[in-house]
Amino acid sequence: MTKLWQTKKLNKKIELFTVGNDYLLDKKLLKYDCKASIAHSKMLKKIKILTEEEQKKLEKELNNIIELAQKGKFEIKLQDEDCHTAIENYLIKKLKDLGKKIHTCRSRNDQVVAAMKLYEKDEVGKVKKLVNGLVNSLKKLVKKNIAMPGYTHMQKAMPSSLKLWAGSFIESLEDDLILLNNASQIIDKNPLGTGAGYGLPIKVDKEITKQELNFKENYKNSLYVQNSRGKHEAIILNALVNVMSTLNKLVSDLILFSMQEFNFFALPEEFTTGSSIMPQKKNPDVLELVRAKYSIVLGYEFQLKNLISNLPSGYNRDLQLTKEPLMKGIETTKDCLEIMTLVVSKLKVNKENCKKAMTKELYATEKVYELVKKGKSFREAYKEVKKKV
Amino acid sequence: MTKLWQTKKLNKKIELFTVGNDYLLDKKLLKYDCKASIAHSKMLKKIKILTEEEQKKLEKELNNIIELAQKGKFEIKLQDEDCHTAIENYLIKKLKDLGKKIHTCRSRNDQVVAAMKLYEKDEVGKVKKLVNGLVNSLKKLVKKNIAMPGYTHMQKAMPSSLKLWAGSFIESLEDDLILLNNASQIIDKNPLGTGAGYGLPIKVDKEITKQELNFKENYKNSLYVQNSRGKHEAIILNALVNVMSTLNKLVSDLILFSMQEFNFFALPEEFTTGSSIMPQKKNPDVLELVRAKYSIVLGYEFQLKNLISNLPSGYNRDLQLTKEPLMKGIETTKDCLEIMTLVVSKLKVNKENCKKAMTKELYATEKVYELVKKGKSFREAYKEVKKKV
Amino acid sequence: MTKLWQTKKLNKKIELFTVGNDYLLDKKLLKYDCKASIAHSKMLKKIKILTEEEQKKLEKELNNIIELAQKGKFEIKLQDEDCHTAIENYLIKKLKDLGKKIHTCRSRNDQVVAAMKLYEKDEVGKVKKLVNGLVNSLKKLVKKNIAMPGYTHMQKAMPSSLKLWAGSFIESLEDDLILLNNASQIIDKNPLGTGAGYGLPIKVDKEITKQELNFKENYKNSLYVQNSRGKHEAIILNALVNVMSTLNKLVSDLILFSMQEFNFFALPEEFTTGSSIMPQKKNPDVLELVRAKYSIVLGYEFQLKNLISNLPSGYNRDLQLTKEPLMKGIETTKDCLEIMTLVVSKLKVNKENCKKAMTKELYATEKVYELVKKGKSFREAYKEVKKKV
Amino acid sequence: MTKLWQTKKLNKKIELFTVGNDYLLDKKLLKYDCKASIAHSKMLKKIKILTEEEQKKLEKELNNIIELAQKGKFEIKLQDEDCHTAIENYLIKKLKDLGKKIHTCRSRNDQVVAAMKLYEKDEVGKVKKLVNGLVNSLKKLVKKNIAMPGYTHMQKAMPSSLKLWAGSFIESLEDDLILLNNASQIIDKNPLGTGAGYGLPIKVDKEITKQELNFKENYKNSLYVQNSRGKHEAIILNALVNVMSTLNKLVSDLILFSMQEFNFFALPEEFTTGSSIMPQKKNPDVLELVRAKYSIVLGYEFQLKNLISNLPSGYNRDLQLTKEPLMKGIETTKDCLEIMTLVVSKLKVNKENCKKAMTKELYATEKVYELVKKGKSFREAYKEVKKKV
């Protein structure tokens, strides 16, 4: 079956190259494209391009696709190129001439953006839920009354506690939630009705699709729908990178404090992996991988932010490559959040070892303040204690 | 004069290396450190570490420093290391033992964060003003009634207009303003009273400093004050990178459409530079530099996001190096916004050339919709027009 | 079947997370691990751990695996974790106790590095061949005698030619070849015999594996075998990024000069794609994707270079994640080289349009030099011509 | 004094923006531009543009500038824009009409590249010397006979030694030296005589400048002189990033192993810094800053690699911004190498603590091999020991 924009046969190598792995990635978009197409069909009914009956037929088939997709039975073939063509081909096969009407008053450009935005809103929502789950796991740790050394410059500094330590990640995740919320607010604009970026030579009703798809507002400017591609996805990735950064610090601490020399924390044995040569090893691979995945997701953000640079206005095919970094960033972040919620919930804290580590240098500052309370100026008190240390 | 934390003399080479260019960068922080110190002194008065008279003396000298700094007469010497020590040394010189009391109930760690946050709030405010200035310049362009070709894939696509083109940058800047606002909201937390990250062995009153310095809220967790360093600055840089990305697209278009082959736009001659060998050249250097500066600011963002990776909790000296990328990112973005506001306000639009460029292929989609309005299904109409093109 | 290092059952979620997609990526490594294992078995024979007969049996089964793999019939199951375990499991199944001997005198750590290095040497070789192929395509262009304008600052500058233009990419690719050669030289070290990074408590003979596997030299330091992971891969990616950078400039020019306003170049129609809404469009998607893939590969390089930062010596599981960015970088670069060789070989150059574009401002510098030849100082001649332009 | 390419007065704000900090950065280039100009004058003599006497006068004044620059007495004023104009202005002031001849047969484009390449060759040479210095410091450590634990996954793995540990950095630096050599080889091409990228309308003799300036070869393609800008600088930065990566791992280990919980290493007290609040602190700030500077230099590399993306052929002003990231990358790397040579030479190794850390789990693999030597298959031996651990 030929592509919708196609007359002459495309060179086979060029086809393979340009399709890339869109036909695989787009599995995640099927549902969203169908939903957007249903909303679009309602709009077409409103402006009298479709009759009520026609709209119903289309809606039914689109719902069928959603169902098939959920069961893994709707295939996007390489020659379909992407989910959008696969869906249209299916509609034409099922509904003949009626299927050929669905693309009226839209371009693949606004269609793709609509599916992406619905996908993004859903996924950011899932990430937020997982962040809240991890916060809950951390809150259980916070309740334990365990003293620990506090470090600065990776040197013993002042007394700290499990509560303070775990609490720092909660506040960090709260900041990340704000970023996630902001990201989903900014991208929450209806792109339908803007065509290829330059509007449509026919009057459409954007309010209908906006309401149907629960978008916060319509894009004001049709060209910006395309110019915001990559930019909006990078805003989401920035929020994800912040989440990953919180996890990166959490696991950096856990790996350090699980070393034999500290032994403040321990993973359950069934969470650790062994060595092919050293029989004694219990390695925190799971934590090391989370640590490294920060850099992986950061790399995805950089791909997007570099990719959009020095490009003129309007849709450029480069933007198609914004899909994979975003999707991989989302999947990676979700995986890491899930696994860290499990890890935190099962983490063993060795209270005794923490206590033993509370050596006297940690209390030097307290001594300074004892002198301050007795009336010494801070600097004099500091010097006096320093001499004795 | 020795540093405050110092007893034994530091090796000269190590000193030079560790001070780096902090003593230069910190000129920007002087004012903010003084303001934070005044607020801190009021807190010390409240908790009875300082008498009312002592506080007044300290406040007076701190205001003196602000005044001296504004006149460029307050020097931070290399051996001072940074503005914080320079200020304390000055106070001790002027007020003797009273000066030695100012550092009570704080650490350099919370002190630095306080000055940085005040600086950041001010500067993000300035960036927002400049963004609004550029929006106003663009709004003047939007009012001109000029038709232009719209491009996708850098190929002529559909009819566009100066209004649509310029409007896309306005909506992009509106998104950027949301990001700037969000960034300044997230970072707007009072760090004073959290010491080196592990609180203080004496009761302090954070509400006073919060109110005096107009912070939205107090940090909940003292350790997070330090763990959010770099993270908060990267959140600001992300917003700046988005602004720069809007400018990058704007100048990419301007450079392209100012080529002789288009000649839609022209810079005033006094905005262009010449060549040392080619007498005819009028080059848009100013636009090319703005284009490139997107990558520069993006590099600063990635310096920060990389720098904080794989570090354990608590202050690590690495974080000192978050200052320069942030400050340079802010300065660069402000410069570019200012210059682009000037450029846009003086931009010449060659209406005639734009009109000439409105060739017939741009209207192919209109022809499709004429057929659609006559009752053809979209796909049939598309095929019919395609055959004729 | 359990993993080799395993006694207690690993938590299912942790297993899925730690295995990641290694079991998929490792398809590319199967052949190389078998080859390295054959070399290793010969070494074991030499030091009398294996008899000649035992070695032959192992070699035979390892060659069987290579054959099965080539036919796509050797499966690496998720529960195998990676190709190394899959191979050992196969050997144990086939050869019972003999299979359990193959891992003597090695660790998975040196084993993985050996397979990676063999893979890398092969793949860099393929990339070099493809670069040479593109150079040959460009050399055909160079032979055409076609004048073109030369641009600086994207403004007409001086007369240029197809020969000069195409030749610049040839010299760029020659630099890239030097980088590729250097990369493959640097990484060409035998890691076998270094165990987990701390040598082996038994005498091994590294010369045998070195010769069998055609490595240039042995690693001098066993710990550096692990410390160079990521670093060596980033050196390869840096070379690939340079190749992609040459392609990025080539396609940036092609896209620009294929705009209707220039029309110097044209792609054959079967290389262009259409629009779902605009029937007239012939878009250079293939070029735009190559342009964008520069940023993608650059992102992979950044992932590696960030991932290895702030890690202590010795193997850390983070390093497992260096595989995917490298492999994807290699695949992408090969794809782009292949497609660009095809594009260049079929590129249409519109001599007439190039000629028409040779307008008189391009000759201003020539006029200056006519005056110089007549005895004017350069600066005076320049000023005189500038006045007239 | 006006710029050389200038007729109409440039808008003041535009001037400030376009000049940027070139007039400051160019201090480093003064010497090299003079040397290149002397070589160029000899070429002009050869092709009879200058008489022997004229050439001598120019050479004398150019040598004067070098001398003045060395004493810090040659100023580049903001209105000069850069060192190239400052030098030409000086020559014209001193030699009147003769000064106006020096720019014959060159463009600022090839002139800038010539000065940059001479600077780069010199600086890479200095970096190589510093790397060798650090290797020598490490070699002294290697000679000490001290046992240490070896870690994988930041868990105790097998016995290691100071020799093995320090040796790993030596081999890493040897790889870095290869990269530095390769970088200086690749960039070692004479750009003079290629004008603005499109040659010159007069016959020049590139062999003379090549020999005078000791370049390995001439560029083959004049356009590539400009297209290689940024690319060549990024190749150098990649080599520097590799050096910094070696240092990053070295200091990551030093910081970790200097924690109180290990105490394998200690810095001399005059190398450590204190805390403004905690009198007991001796912090390894110097090491933490080296650690962080890896990310800073990496950010510079990515500025360059991003900046050159999606740009068409020929000089674009964007390339001017490649200077600062390169220069800062070089300065930072040199500083870090110098300081680490000092640190390594003064490092205290606590033999007793290292020995105490050699706990029994480190010897589990040895036990496996004792069984292997007695005839057990490796996997059986491994299982047996694992059961006992």
Q: Does residue A281 sit in the same domain as residue A375?
A: no
Contact predicate B69/B104, CB 8 Å:
no
pLDDT band at D79 (very low <50, low <70, confident <90, very high): confident
Within a domain: residue A223? Answer: yes
Handedness of CA B292, C131, A301, D247 (dihedral sign): negative
| Contact across the interface for A364 and D155, Cβ inside 8 Å | no
Q: What would the pLDDT profile of A172-225 be if each residue is shown by its tens digit?
A: 999 999 999 999 999 999 999 999 999 999 999 999 999 999 999 999 999 999
**Maximum separation of any 2 CA atoms in chain D, in Å:** 92
Domain boundary among D69, D101, D133: D101
Average per-residue pLDDT for chain B = 95
Q: A199 contacts in C (CB within 8 Å)?
A: none
**What integer pLDDT is reported at residue C185 of this predicted model?**
97
Residues A377 and A334 in one domain: no
Domain count, chain D: 3
Domain co-membership, A174 together with A245 = yes
CB pairs under 8 A between B and C: 108
Residue pair A196/C277 in contact by the 8 Å Cβ criterion: yes
Residue with tokens 């399709």: A19
Q: How far apart are the first and last CA of chain D?
A: 82
Average pLDDT value over all residues in chain D: 95
Whole domain around residue A174: which residue ranges?
Answer: 108-356
* Identity of the residue in A196, A271, A306 whose CB atom sits nearest the CB atom of C295: A306
Q: Are D330 and D123 in contact (CB under 8 A)?
A: yes
The tens digit of pLDDT for each residue in A39-53 reads 999 999 999 999 999
* pLDDT at residue D1, rounded to an integer: 41
CA C12 to chain centre: 35
A294 forms beta bridges with none
**Which amino acid is it at A91?**
L
Q: Which residues of C touch D377 (CB under 8 A)?
A: 97-98, 100-101, 104
What are the structure tokens assigned to D182, written together? Answer: 């390769």
Chain D residues closer than 8 Å to B318 by CB: 288-289, 291-292
Chains touching B, CB cut-off 8 Å, 3+ pairs: A, C, D
The number of residues making up chain D comes to: 389
Q: What is the CATH number of the domain that holds D141?
A: 1.20.200.10
Closest chain B residue to the Cα of A305, Cα to Cα: B298
- Judge whether residue D389 has pLDDT over 80: no
Residues C297 and C389 in one domain: no
Check residue B274 and give its pLDDT.
Answer: 87
Q: What tokens appear for B206 in the block?
A: 């954070």
Nearest CB to D310: which of A256, A259, A309? A309
Cα distance between residue B210 and residue B149, in whole Å: 54
Neighbours of D334 (CB within 10 A): 17
Q: Are B8 and B89 in contact (CB under 8 A)?
A: no
Q: What pLDDT, on the 0 to 100 scale, is given for residue C389?
A: 77
How far does the CA of residue B158 sit from the closest CA of chain C (Å)? 8
Q: At B105, is the secondary structure helix, strand, or coil?
A: coil
Q: Which secondary-structure segment (H or E) carries B161?
A: strand B155-161
Are residues D255 and D287 in contact, defined by beta-carbon separation less than 8 angstroms? yes
Chain-centroid distance of CA A126 in Å reads: 9
CB contact under 8 A, B295 and D307: yes
Q: pLDDT tens digits for B178-218?
A: 999 999 999 999 999 999 999 999 999 999 999 999 999 99
Shared-domain flag, residues B336 and B385 = no
Q: Cα dist. A240→A61, A136, A337, B304, D1 in Å?
A: 35, 19, 11, 16, 53
pLDDT beyond 80 at C80: yes
Q: How far apart are CA B284 and CA B296, in angstroms?
A: 19
Q: Is residue B221 assigned to a domain?
A: yes
Check: CB of residue B237 under 8 Å from CB of residue A302: no
Neighbours of A334 (CB within 10 A): 17
B229, amino acid identity: R
DSSP states of C298-360 as a string? HHHHHHHHHHTTTPPSS--GGGGGGHHHHHHHHHHHHHHHHHHHHHHHH-EE-HHHHHHT--G
CA distances (Å), origin A363, targets C304, D74, D373: 41, 56, 53
Q: Is there a contact between D101 and C378 (Cβ–Cβ < 8 Å)?
A: yes
CA-closest candidate to residue A50, choices A205, A210, A217: A205
Position C8 scores a pLDDT of 65
Residue of B8, B152, B177, B185 for testing the chain A interface, max A β-carbons within 10 Å: B152
pLDDT of residue C3: 62
Give tens-digit pLDDT for A263-304.
Answer: 999 999 999 988 888 888 899 999 999 999 999 999 999 999
Residues B159 and B138 in one domain: yes
Helix, coil or strand: residue D71? coil
User: Can you give the pLDDT at residue D5?
Assistant: 60
ipTM score? 0.96
Take residue A289 and report the two structure tokens written for it: 């991988």
Give residue-wise pLDDT tens across range B56-78.
999 999 999 999 999 999 999 88
User: Mutate which of D238, D295, D304, D386 to test chain C, going by most C C-beta atoms within 10 A?
Assistant: D238
Contact C183, C236 (CB under 8 A): yes
- Indicate whether C1 belongs to any domain: no
Neighbours of B230 (CB within 10 A): 26
Task: Answer whether A138's CB lies under 8 Å from A76's CB.
Answer: no
- Residue A1 belongs to some domain of the structure: no
Does C293 lie in the same domain as C145? yes
Residues in chain C: 389
**Average pLDDT over every residue of C274-294:** 93
Q: Which two tokens stand for residue A352?
A: 């005794």
Residue C275, phi then psi, degrees to nearest 5: -115, 150
- The reply to whether A62 and A124 lie within a common domain is no
One domain, residues B134 and B233: yes
Q: Say whether pLDDT at A1 is over 50.
A: no
Give CA–CA dist B159/B151, Å, rounded.
9
Q: CA nearest D277 in A: which residue? A: A365
Report yes or no: D110 and D191 within 8 Å, Cβ to Cβ: yes
pLDDT over 70 at B7, yes or no:
no
Give the pLDDT band of residue B9 (cuts 50, 70, 90). Answer: confident
Q: Rounded to an integer, what distance in angstroms lies between the CA atom of residue D189 and that of residue B253?
A: 35
Q: How far is A10 from chain C (nearest CA, A)?
A: 5
Nearest CA in chain B to D319: B292
Q: Are strands B155-161 and B147-152 parallel, antiparallel or unpaired?
A: antiparallel
Q: How many CB pairs under 8 A join A and C?
A: 180
Buried b (16+ CB within 10 A) or exposed e, D100-115: bbbbbbbbbbbbbbbb
Q: What is the pLDDT of residues B152-177, one digit of tens each?
A: 999 999 999 999 999 999 999 999 99
Give a yes or no: residue C207 inside a domain.
yes
Is the pLDDT score of D243 beyond 90? Answer: yes
With contact defined as beta carbons under 8 Å apart, do B184 and B129 qualify? Answer: no
**b/e A60-94 (16+ beta carbons within 10 angstroms → b):** ebbeebbeebeeeebebeeebbbbbbbbbbbbbee
> Are the Cβ atoms of D224 and C165 closer than 8 angstroms?
no
* Dihedral, CA of residue B298, residue B302, residue B304 and residue B310, to nearest 10: 170
By the 8 A CB rule, do B286 and C182 touch?
Answer: no
Written as one string, the DSSP assignment of C52-83 is HHHHHHHHHHHHHHHHHHHTT-----GGG-SH
Question: Which chain D residues are within 8 Å of A258, Cβ to Cβ?
Answer: 154
Nearest-CA distance A372 → chain C (Å): 39
**Nearest partner of C301 among D40, B202, A299, judged by Cα:** A299
pLDDT digits (tens, 9 = 90+) for A349-375: 999 999 999 999 999 999 999 999 998
| Burial (CB count <10 Å: 0-12, 13-18, 19+), residue B348 | exposed
Residue that finishes a domain, picked among B101, B120, B146:
B101
Beta-carbon contacts of B78 under 8 Å, excluding residues fewer than 6 positions away, are: B16, B19, B23
Q: Subunits with at least 3 CB pairs below 8 A relative to chain D? A: A, B, C
User: Do the Cβ atoms of B314 and A235 come within 8 Å?
Assistant: no
Any domain includes B3: no
CA distance A156 to C262: 67
Tokens of C20: 């990641």
List of chain C residues whose C-beta atoms are within 8 Å of the C-beta of residue D234: 242
Among the partner residues B18, B268, B289, nearest to D17 by beta-carbon distance: B289
* D84: annotated active-site residue: no
Task: Identify all chain D residues contacting A160, using CB atoms and an 8 Å cutoff.
Answer: none
Interface test with A, best of D148, D151, D152, D153 (most A CBs within 10 A): D153
CB contact under 8 A, B224 and A168: yes
Q: Give the length of chain A.
A: 389
Which residue, A84, A101, A118, sits at the end of a domain? Answer: A101
The answer on A122 and A50 residing in a single domain is no
The partner residue sitting opposite D278, judged by closest CB among A255, A274, A364, is A364
Question: Measured between alpha carbons, how far is A21 from A323 in angstroms, rounded to an integer?
Answer: 10
Please give the angle made by the CA atoms of A173, A179 and A184, to the nearest 5 degrees.
125
State the count of interchain CB pairs (< 8 A) between A and D.
109
pLDDT class of C322 with cuts at 50, 70, 90: very high
CB D196 within 8 A of CB D110: yes
Q: Which residues of C17-31 are buried (b: 16+ CB within 10 A; e: fewer)?
A: bbbbebbebbebbbb
Average pLDDT of span D110-139? 98
Mean pLDDT of D6-10: 69
CA distance D117 to chain B (A): 20
How close B297 gets to chain D, by Cα (Å)?
8
pLDDT above 60 (res C1) = no
C249 vs chain B: nearest CA distance in angstroms? Answer: 16
Instruction: Note whether A350 and A368 are same-domain residues.
Output: no
pLDDT score, position C6: 60
Dihedral angle over CA of A168, A172, A178, A180, nearest 10: -140
Q: What average pLDDT does this structure show over B18-29?
A: 91
For residues C92 and C124, state if they share a domain: no
Mean pLDDT estimate for chain A: 95
Confirm whether D303 is domain-assigned: yes
Q: How large is the average pLDDT for residues B232-261?
A: 98
Instruction: Give chain B positions within 8 Å (CB) of D271.
Output: 10-11, 14
**pLDDT tops 90 at residue B104:** yes
Burial class of residue C70, CB neighbours in 10 A (0-12, 13-18, 19+): exposed
Residue B266, in any domain of the structure: yes
pLDDT per residue as tens digits for the range B307-320: 999 999 999 999 99
Catalytic residue selected from B37, B41, B137, B153: B153
Q: Quick one: tokens of A363?
A: 């209390």
Which CATH number do you get for residue C82? 1.10.275.10
Tokens 């927002």 found at: B128
